[in-house]
Amino acid sequence: MAELAILGGQPEIPYPLASYRSHGEEERLAALETIDSGVLSQFLGAAGDLFKGGPRVQHLEQMTAEKFDSVHAVSFNSWTSGLISAIGALQLEPGDEVIVPTWTMAASATAAIHWGCIPVFADIDEKSFNISTESIEERISARTRAIMSVDIFGQPADMDEINSIAKRLDLRVVSDSAQAPGAVYKGRFAGTLSDIGGYSLNYHKHIHCGEGGIAFTQDPELAYRMQLIRNHGEAVVTDDDPGSLANTLGFNFRMGEIEAAIALEQFKKLGALIADRQRVANQLNAFFENLGGVTPPFQAPDRSHVYYVYGLTLDPDFLGVSRDVFAAALGAEGVPVMRRYQNIHLLPMFQHRVAIGSKGFPWSVVPSGDHIDYRKGTCPTAEDLNNRRFLGIPICSYQLPEADVRSVERAFLKVWESLERLRDFEQSLAP
């Protein structure tokens, strides 16, 4: 048996894996054509024909709305901007609470803080890594106004149940489907199953235009309010009704024409790019079925998975080694692995409740908010996975032809078959 690389042997993958690349000649030509047109952006922060941007931006919005069966699409310079605009469009008030999964990127929660709202963190489902509907129910208070659902790693959350909770309690729902473009839930596209949803278009996603995001809604009022927030809404709204003015404070969240031109080409390739990620995942699924102590990603039968991350769950007791040592051994063999994801309720911002200014805003708006608990142990499933059982392969960051997937499998098998040596190694590290 070959010696483990972490113990001085030769790595199973002695070369760097090729980085994922979704763009090519079509995108280059589209960008050049845009430059030659002389129109690199055509937004004006004022009422009129150019409030909604230039021809490529508007074409992108029309095309994606049609492609994903949405009435409206609104583009942004990033999906973070899209999330901020989505929460603002709901016209929430400072001190209102938004339930968010802790297992996500920080922007899912900070989008609420931008409007003085308070994130309340829910735990996740152990199998799918998506927000737990049981935990949502436990977090609801008299001040809850919205739920931020996240389609983590590329698989839609349980949207029927989430929407049912929201309808029963008169809550709004935003779907952060940044990692799940083109994923399908019961015949409908992720990101179109809530009041507002959408996708990220930045560099390590399935498709990208450098930086960008696209939001979807069936509601014309929500679409208009996102457009106001995107483009200096305070200079556009002339209504004297204070209710109409709420959250129209605008930003410059506008997408440029070059990014829109590239995104138009990228969306044409989405189906093929998803199919390639699914090919990699299916190949790995078949391999991990026979590897004890390592559970491949769960996929619910009523939805698809587009595999932004290939998320494994380890059983350290079965393996006899910790997740961190197991991951270190894989890394030494050349396998790109993520040892952790996110438990954002444990970030310093939430531990100290300091975000806007130094006086505790927005938490200070509601002095009786004692039910808001960010302590360790409040999201036990997410914390346990993050601390000792989760292992991810960021397959959206690499090309991974079949030969490279086989190399990854051989590396896993090499480490797995050398668990006794790895246990001895871990014991030697103990103080």
The answer to whether residue 165 sits within a structural domain is yes
Please tell me the predicted confidence (pLDDT) of residue 244.
80
The answer to whether residue 375 sits within a structural domain is no
The answer to whether residue 66 sits within a structural domain is yes
4, 12, 162, 293, 314 from 7: Cα distances, Å: 5, 13, 48, 22, 22
Q: Rounded to whole angstroms, how far apart are CA atoms 306 and 289?
A: 19
The answer to whether residue 408 sits within a structural domain is no
**Residue 209 neighbours by CB under 8 Å, 6+ apart:** 201, 258, 259, 260, 262, 263, 266
Please tell me the predicted confidence (pLDDT) of residue 371.
83
Joined tokens for residue 47: 């009422």
The answer to whether residue 111 sits within a structural domain is yes
The answer to whether residue 65 sits within a structural domain is yes
Task: Provide the edge-to-edge strand list for the sheet that holds 294-295.
Answer: 294-295, 310-314, 390-393
CA neighbor of 1 nearest in space, from 419, 426, 423: 419
What parts of the chain have a pLDDT lower than 50?
A: none
The answer to whether residue 354 sits within a structural domain is no
Strands, E assignment, 218-349: 294-295, 310-314
The answer to whether residue 295 sits within a structural domain is no
User: CA neighbours within 13 Å on the CB side: how many for 210?
Assistant: 13
Beta strand 196-200 pairing with 172-176: parallel
Q: CATH number, domain at 85?
A: 3.40.640.10
Q: What is the pLDDT of residues 343-388, one digit of tens each?
A: 999 999 999 999 999 999 999 998 777 789 999 999 999 999 999 9
**Amino acid letter for position 334:** G
Please tell me the predicted confidence (pLDDT) of residue 268.
97
Give the position of tokens 């952790």. Answer: 340
Q: Which long-range contacts (CB under 8 A, 24 or more apart) does 283-286 make?
A: 283/402, 283/405, 283/409, 284/310, 284/393, 284/405, 284/408, 284/409
Q: Which long-range contacts (CB under 8 A, 24 or more apart) does 163-172 make?
A: 163/193, 163/194, 165/133, 165/136, 165/137, 165/140, 169/140, 169/144, 171/144, 171/145, 171/146, 171/147, 172/90, 172/145, 172/146, 172/147
E strand or H helix that includes residue 138: helix 133-139
Q: Are 311 and 390 in contact (CB under 8 A)?
A: yes
Counting the structural domains of the chain, the total is 1
116: left (phi over 0), alpha (psi -120 to 50) or beta: left
Q: Rounded to whole angstroms, how far apart are CA atoms 130 and 119?
A: 17
Joined tokens for residue 158: 């349980």
Give the position of tokens 């444990």. Answer: 346
User: What's the domain range around 262?
Assistant: 25-266
Please tell me the predicted confidence (pLDDT) of residue 341.
95
CB atoms within 10 A of CB 36: 8
Q: Rounded to whole angstroms, how far apart are CA atoms 294 and 158?
A: 24
97, 131, 274, 405 from 299: Cα distances, Å: 30, 15, 15, 20
Look up the pTM and report it.
Answer: 0.96
